[in-house]
Amino acid sequence: MFKVLVTDHISDKGLEILNNDPDIDLDYQPEIQWAELLEIIKDYDAIITRSRTPVNKELLERAERLKVVGRAGVGVDNVDLEECSKRGILVVNTPGANTVGAAELTMAHMYTILRKLHLAHESMMRGEWNRKKFMGEELDGKVVGIVGLGNVGSQVAIRCKASGAKVIAYDPYIPKEKGERLGVELVSTLEELIKRSDIITLHCPLTEETRGMIGRKEFEMMKDGVYFVNCARGGIVDEDAMYDFMKKGKFAGIGLDVFSKEPPDDRIRRLFEFPNISLSPHIGANTYESQDKVAIKIAQQVIAALKGEFVEAAVNAPFTVTEGFENIKAFLLLAEKLGSFMTQYAGGNFKELHIEVRGSISEHIKPIVAYVLKGFLSPILDRVVNIINAPFLAKERGIKVVESMREETEIFKDFIKVSVKENGKEHTIGGTAFYGKIPKIMLVDNYWIDIDPKGVILIFENKDVPGVIAKIGEILARHNINIAGFRLGRLEKGKIALGALQVDDRITEPVLEEINDVPEIIKAKEIIL
């Protein structure tokens, strides 16, 4: 049973998922005070937060059992990622869950400042009727510069293009192909984007690289009469510099949903003196749909992480998977299964592990290696192994991990091969994912075979003579164990063959002994995947 503490308000739909899982003991305390949290955190396996709760070193030092931190949202600036990684604590968030809400709010601010809607509303509320005062501009025909072409930035680009704008974007981590798919021109420098844009909107995370990225120099380069929108993170912008340029009349309009200090202090509130600013209190994700999606997603991610299953959004993973995630998801699952198969088949006492990745998936070798290690170590350790602590645990056990990449082979376009060597013994497991979606183990030692990496597998070497399968089938039938599938590999007729029977139930030790006693069987093992 895993104890999960939720310290901020999340949608009931996420709470239902947590409550309905028999392995989860949920404690929902959305108003918990810091002092009390420090006292009780030692008893929990996971914590789910929003922005209210800081997951800092002080908290983590007391979190004796903590395995997972779930951030219900995209930003993780309230989580000490380095400290979590050191402790093998997986941090997951919900990228994409509030994408539409954030994109639509950006567009709302953009249209508001283009058409002076906020000022027109205030004028009407005062009883005025002054149409000439609210002459605006159209989005159609404008050059919109998007800084950060991730989930939200992409959705903003789609909406701006639909309105007739020309969209350019700066994002050094996005491949050119994505820009081409969206019909967006990717520029090579932030300076070029700033100088060309009529409207600039920010959609990048707050990191050491982006903190203060838009400052005096950048404001100076902007066109006079530029429109500027920030619905990303407040710390990206130097607000003191923004204030100075607002006084100079640099901007036709500004839309802000985020601030470096929230709620804003007096220094930030100086910005509010200007009439051409549209404001909201960090509500990018504040739609019912977004809140439901965020809660559902974080509940699913935390449960999966606690159970050692595949997680899509591991923030502090020792690698980055952004573009093409769906294309390699099956290969990551395969990598974990190959590692687990290897340990169960060959043993886990090897000190050198070779992981070779072939084909186009080789650009993702780091996540593939992490998942192989997770699978390899999980069967032999009495603690939860995840993609964060697996490399550390391998090093701790003295396992040397050798990574290599090769071009695609004649047989398979993409292939993962895992090998272990020690004291003259060598074992190899390899596989691919057909159509990029169906994982298959295709190589066991020198035998080409075709195994679905799931469920209970009886793997056995035998003399290649007639009647072996019949004898095994008779034993399994006698013990009421049904065969779900069978695969055979052999190097030469009449020599040694490798068989793999997929069965519906676990094979007990007495049954396995009975199979091993068959004269033609060289060795037989049960593999659980």
Is there a single domain that holds both residue 120 and residue 231?
Answer: yes
The CATH number that applies at residue 372 is 3.30.1330.90
How many domains in the chain? Answer: 4
**Same structural domain, 212 and 342:** no
pLDDT at 253: 97
Q: Are residues 472 and 515 in the same domain?
A: yes
State the Cα–Cα distance between residues 448 and 429, nearest whole angstrom: 10
pLDDT score recorded for residue 326: 65
What's 333's DSSP letter? Answer: H
Q: Do 274 and 364 belong to one domain?
A: no
Q: Report the pLDDT value the prediction gives residue 320, as an integer from 0 to 100.
A: 55
Helices 288-306/99-115 angle, 10° precision:
150
Q: Are residues 425 and 348 in contact, defined by beta-carbon separation less than 8 angstroms?
A: no
- CA pair distance 286, 268, nearest whole angstrom: 22
Mark whether 400 and 487 lie in a shared domain: no
Interior CA angle at 229 toward 224 and 233, to 5°? 130
Residues 123 and 94 in one domain: no
| Domain, as residue range, for 524 | 455-529
Task: Provide the pLDDT for residue 363.
Answer: 86
Active site residues: 233, 262, 282
pLDDT at position 347 is: 83
Instruction: Indicate the residue among 430, 449, 468 that finishes a domain.
Output: 449
Q: Give the distance, in angstroms, between the CA of residue 298 and the centroid of all CA atoms in the same chain.
A: 11
Give the three-class secondary structure for 26.
strand
Please indicate, yes or no, whether residues 93 and 104 belong to a single structural domain of this protein: no
Single out the residue in 408, 434, 449 at which a domain terminates.
449
Distance in angstroms (rounded) separating the CA atoms of residues 58 and 54: 9
Q: How far is CA 46 from CA 4, 12, 57, 248, 519, in A?
A: 5, 18, 16, 50, 51
**Same-domain check for residues 264 and 342:** no
Would you state the structure tokens that stand for residue 167, as one six-digit string? 């969209």
Q: Identify whether residues 427 and 493 lie together within a single domain.
A: no
| pLDDT tens track, the chain, 529 positions | 999 999 999 999 999 999 999 999 999 999 999 999 999 999 999 999 998 899 999 999 999 999 999 999 877 889 998 888 878 898 999 877 889 999 999 999 999 999 999 999 999 999 999 999 999 999 999 999 999 998 899 999 999 999 999 999 999 877 788 899 999 999 999 999 999 999 999 998 887 789 999 999 999 999 999 999 999 999 999 999 999 999 999 999 999 999 999 999 999 999 999 999 999 999 998 999 999 999 999 999 999 989 877 677 778 876 655 445 667 889 999 999 999 999 999 887 788 899 999 998 988 898 899 899 999 998 887 666 777 778 877 887 788 999 999 877 668 889 999 999 877 788 999 999 998 899 999 999 989 999 999 999 999 999 999 999 999 999 999 999 999 999 999 888 889 999 999 999 999 999 999 999 999 999 999 999 9
Is 463 strand, coil or helix? strand
Q: What is the DSSP letter of 418?
A: E
- Among 424, 449, 474, which residue terminates a domain? 449
Which CATH number covers residue 43?
3.40.50.720
Question: What is the pTM for the complete model shown?
Answer: 0.63
Query: And the tokens for 482?
Result: 């049904």
CATH of residue 494: 3.30.70.260
Are the C-beta atoms of residues 254 and 278 closer than 8 Å to each other? yes
Q: What local confidence, expressed as pLDDT, does residue 9 receive?
A: 94
Q: Are residues 17 and 91 in the same domain?
A: yes
Check whether residue 221 and residue 178 sit in a common domain.
Answer: yes
Tokens representing 412?
A: 């398979």
Same domain, 437 and 519: no
Residue 328: per-residue pLDDT: 87
